[in-house]
Amino acid sequence: MSSIGKLMKQAARIQRQMEQVQADLAAKTIECTSGGGAVKVVARCDGTLAAVKIDPQALNPADSQLLEDMILSAANAALAQAKEMSSQEMGKLTGGLSIPGLS
């Protein structure tokens, strides 16, 4: 088999593996809290949020700015951890190569 043929087969195999890793990552979640657990955010490792939970005790209208800050903090932490997990999983597949367009 020619070198180009081997390269094409290898590229197809890597693409299938990448698709599987991306599907697996979409099923994995990261959970982060802020405000001592008053706000919980669950992020998927595909970069989307799965859930936001707010303790009813935190729902004081006078503290709406604090609640917004806690939600933002928990969401950013969850998304950052999910992105890190995604990068680690894709790095295993690509052998540390930096491929544009991938996590």
* pTM of the shown model: 0.64
CA 102 to centroid of chain Cα atoms: 13
Residue 62 belongs to domain with CATH number: 3.30.1310.10
Q: Is 77 within the bounds of a domain?
A: yes
101, pLDDT greater than 80: no
Q: What are the Cα distances from residue 103, in Å, to 15, 26, 31, 92?
A: 14, 13, 20, 12
Q: Is 37 within the bounds of a domain?
A: yes
User: How many independent structural domains does the chain possess?
Assistant: 1
Burial of 13 (0-12, 13-18, 19+ CB in 10 A): exposed
Q: Is 57 within the bounds of a domain?
A: yes
Q: Is 19 within the bounds of a domain?
A: yes
- 49: domain range? 3-93
Tens digit of pLDDT for each residue in 43-75? 888 888 889 999 988 888 888 888 888 889 999
Q: Is 38 within the bounds of a domain?
A: yes
Q: Is 87 within the bounds of a domain?
A: yes
